[in-house]
């Protein structure tokens, strides 16, 4: 598990590289109330449908992605965000290479 040094300037786009035919995840912050992670997806990569017990905010930092929530597709581009509701099935598909910031807020 990797976290970032506090009181430092962060450039999220530069903080995670791409991996050919892969997905990279980098933990930025982890607390009892939730966590923040950076992801990079190579074109065609995906996270299969799953659920989470708490809400999650996706912010697209670079590229384009398809986010499926309850099997409904949402096409997101750089600068756009979406909230995935708790307990609702969701999936992530890389339309092209993309990077995202994922913020998960837990009920405590």
For the chain, list the domains and their CATH numbers: 25-105 (2.60.120.10)
Q: State the number of CA atoms in the 13 A half-sphere of 44 facing the CB.
A: 4
pLDDT of res. 90: 97
SS3 15: helix
| Intra-chain end-to-end CA distance of the chain, in Å | 22
For residue 5, what is the DSSP state? P
Query: What are the pLDDT digits (tens) for 34-77?
Result: 999 999 999 999 999 999 988 999 999 999 999 999 999 999 99
CA angle 19/40/87 to nearest 5° reads: 130
Provide, rounded to the nearest whole percent, the portion of the chain with pLDDT above 70.
Answer: 95
Q: Has this prediction a pTM greater than 0.85? A: yes
Which pair of structure tokens corresponds to residue 11? Answer: 């450039």
Residue with tokens 């530069």, as numbered in its chain: 14
């Amino acid at each position: 598990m990797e976290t970032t040094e506090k009181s430092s300037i962060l450039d999220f786009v530069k903080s995670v590289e791409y991996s050919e035919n892969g997905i990279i995840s980098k933990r930025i912050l982890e607390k009892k109330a939730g966590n923040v992670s950076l992801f990079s997806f190579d074109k065609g990569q995906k996270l299969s449908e799953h659920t989470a017990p708490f809400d999650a905010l996706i912010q697209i930092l670079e590229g384009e992605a398809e986010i499926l929530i309850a099997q409904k597709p949402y096409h997101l581009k750089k600068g756009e965000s979406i909230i995935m509701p708790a307990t609702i099935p969701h999936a992530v598909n890389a339309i092209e290479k993309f990077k995202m910031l994922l913020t998960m807020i837990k009920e405590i």
